[in-house]
């Protein structure tokens, strides 16, 4: 996609300072900007770079006041981050289009009983099995597998190597990054008298509602019975494990390497940092924030709670406890000195 500064300003409802005919075809970082790129200044600490960047166009807020001459063309907007999000969405649409190319590859394997909507793109060596359905405008990358009876909603994007296993559901406008797996068996085994383990059949499915994004390498297990559910607007980072019968509430965001054990229920609008671990069968209230590397071993019942630590507890209490913990060697020495005096 190539646009002039004038065209960009019209899209963003901004005003131009500089050459309105300069062309850009990609976004870039302000500190590494090159000709043909559009970048932005949204944080004051990056202001020095606006005077040296080679980017062709820079988005700035309307009240930005430069301290010296700027080579790039400026587009002044009401909210630089909102304008940036709009532009990245435009450029991102082209990235999604490259995921599968245009149309259906002759190298794709599509069962005659699969339902394929209008304007669908399917890349080479993708497999769509019997009874599966692909919604209008969806983009299915190379080597994607969509199993029997599975469904992918309209305008969803599945990057190369994604697996949607049998009977699982992906809603509209979802994005699943490379090698995400939806519907693998839950980790269910029954111990036997001889010390072995017998596999428990996992006969449920996974239901992913609309506008969900799932990172590369993330695995979402099917339920043993019923459904593992990701509600509307959930955002998952890379390398997350979601176990069987977990439910994640609307608009909850979860960073990389989180592990969620079976039947955990996470509320709406929660924020969960990297490497958090949940034991099974806990319930997390809406609007909970959990700090990185915490171990969640009990229910969180009050909305808006912030927890930290292992096992995780109230964040402020954790900070106070940590301050004491660092002093333990010193305190231990003082206790021994007091014990000697008492003797």
Q: Known catalytic residues?
A: 244
Distances (CA, A) of 334 to 147, 158, 324, 325: 66, 61, 14, 15
Contacts of 306 (CB under 8 A, 6+ apart): 288, 289, 290, 291, 314, 315, 316
Closest CA to 300 of 280, 314, 319: 314
Query: Distance between CA 105 and CA 114 in Å, rounded?
Result: 16
Query: Distance between CA 58 and CA 5 in Å, rounded?
Result: 10
- 3-state SS assignment for residue 163: strand
Closest CA to 212 of 243, 245, 242: 242
- Placement of tokens 């449920």 in the chain: 204
Closest CA to 174 of 162, 152, 151, 156: 156
Query: Residue 260 burial (CB < 10 Å; 0-12/13-18/19+)?
Result: buried
Q: What angle do CA 253, 38, 235 make, to 5 degrees?
A: 10
Instruction: Please report the sign of the dihedral spanned by the C-alpha atoms of residue 316, residue 317, residue 323, residue 325.
Output: negative
């Amino acid at each position: 996609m190539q646009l002039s500064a004038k065209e960009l300003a019209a899209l963003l409802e901004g005003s131009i300072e500089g050459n309105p005919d300069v062309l850009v075809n990609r976004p870039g970082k302000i500190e590494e900007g090159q000709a043909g790129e559009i970048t932005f200044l949204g944080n004051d600490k990056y202001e020095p770079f606006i005077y040296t960047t080679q980017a062709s166009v820079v988005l700035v807020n309307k009240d930005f006041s430069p301290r010296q001459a700027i080579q790039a063309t400026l587009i002044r907007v009401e909210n630089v981050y909102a304008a940036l999000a709009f532009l990245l969405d435009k450029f991102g649409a082209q990235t999604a289009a490259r995921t599968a190319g245009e149309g259906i590859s002759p190298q794709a394997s599509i069962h005659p009983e699969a339902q394929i909507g209008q304007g669908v793109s399917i890349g080479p060596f993708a497999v769509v099995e019997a009874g599966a359905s692909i919604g209008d405008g969806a983009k299915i990358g190379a080597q994607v597998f969509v199993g029997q009876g599975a469904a992918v909603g309209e305008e969803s994007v599945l990057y190369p190597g994604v697996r949607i296993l049998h009977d699982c559901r992906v809603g509209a406008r979802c994005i699943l990054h490379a090698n995400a797996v939806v519907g693998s068996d839950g980790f269910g085994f029954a111990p036997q008298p001889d010390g072995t383990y017998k596999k428990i059949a996992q006969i449920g499915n996974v239901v992913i509602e609309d506008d969900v994004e799932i990172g590369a390498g993330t695995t979402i297990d099917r339920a043993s019975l019923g459904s593992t559910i990701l509600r509307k607007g959930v955002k998952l980072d890379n390398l997350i494990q979601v176990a069987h019968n977990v439910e994640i509430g609307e608009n909850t965001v979860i960073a990389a390497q989180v592990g969620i054990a079976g039947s955990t229920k996470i509320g709406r609008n929660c924020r969960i940092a990297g490497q958090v671990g949940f034991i099974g069968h806990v319930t997390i209230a809406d609007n909970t924030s959990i700090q990185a590397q915490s171990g969640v071993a009990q229910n969180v019942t009050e909305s808006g709670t912030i927890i930290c630590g292992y096992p995780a507890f109230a964040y402020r209490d954790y900070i106070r406890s940590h301050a004491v913990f660092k002093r333990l060697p010193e305190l231990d020495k003082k206790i021994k000195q007091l014990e000697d005096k008492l003797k």
